[in-house]
Amino acid sequence: MQKEKRPIDLNNKVITIRGLKKSFDELDILRGVDLDLHQSENLVVLGRSGTGKSVLIKIISGLLKPDEGYVNVLGQEVAKISGRELDRLRMKIGFSFQNSALYDSMTVRENLEFPLVRNVRNMTRGQTDKLVENVLDAVGLLRAINQMPSELSGGQRKRIGIARTLILKPEIMLYDEPTAGLDPITSMDINNLINEVQERFNTSSIIITHDLTCARATGDRIVMLLEGQFQYQGTFEEIFRNDDPRVKAFYNYNFTD
């Protein structure tokens, strides 16, 4: 299913990255990445396992430090700001982890309250409850409010993970392999949820994946991460019209069985 075209404001950039480099133990992972994320845009980053997709969004959210390059998020240079400024910036970034990373000693309600009560002071019990219920409703899982993460399915955990980030009303969403390990139907539900979040909360998102169905369903624009750099960008059709054997291999691996 192809995503409908959305008007994107190309002058309004929320993330700008230039010449980003990162290596681990002499292993060059990112070798000069340039990236722009525009307001209200869903950008899909396609790449094989181990190409450094997760490293890229971890640098954007300040979990990892870049070796070289310029990383600007919402007007601030992530690697150069103080801890307090970084925290303030992080409240505007939602991070959906590959394995959801739900706090497994807490109920769903406590998971959602965790970032809320620690970042938004002076909220009454009633206001907190209301917000928790609202975001759970937005991901369609209000009934799971008192369950433990271990009682939920993979797809439900993904939804709760997304709800937990939505509770701080982020401007940017980072999705790390949102459909990995899910069956095709649940994947489709998550793809729809990603688009719903984009429309309802007016977020700009980076969606990292190697699932082409997800890329086609959620991406306004797609870039391919090959050998540490972004190569080929455009819509799904534009990318896969390409003759590069590495791109072809990617396509064939996804759509032939």
Ligand X SMILES: Nc1ncnc2c1ncn2[C@@H]1O[C@H](COP(=O)(O)OP(=O)(O)O)[C@@H](O)[C@H]1O
Q: Using CB under 5 A as the criterion, which residues of the chain lie in contact with Mg ion when the complex forms?
A: 54
Report if residue 24 touches ligand X, rule: CB under 6 A: yes
Residue 49's Cβ-count burial label (10 Å; 0-12, 13-18, 19+) is exposed
- 214's contact among Mg ion, another protein, ligand X, none, with CB below 5 to 8 A by partner kind, is none
Specify the stretch interacting with ligand X by CB under 6 A; choose among 32-40, 53-61, 134-142, 189-197: 53-61
Using DSSP's 3-state secondary structure scheme, residue 149 falls into: helix
Report if residue 85 touches another protein, rule: CB under 8 A: no
Specify the stretch interacting with ligand X by CB under 6 A; choose among 48-56, 105-113, 148-156, 242-250: 48-56
Q: Which is nearer to ligand X, 37 or 139 (CB)?
A: 37
- Own/partner contacts of 246-253, CB < 8 Å, gap of 24 or more, are 250/46, 250/48, 250/210, 250/212, 250/224, 251/212
Q: Which of 140, 138, 132 is nearest to 108 (CA)?
A: 132
Report if residue 96 touches ligand X, rule: CB under 6 A: no
Q: Which is nearer to ligand X, 171 or 176 (CB)?
A: 176
Q: Work out whether the CA dihedral 199, 201, 202, 203 comes out positive or negative.
A: negative
Among the listed residues 51, 72, 156, 179, the single contact to ligand X using CB under 6 A: 51
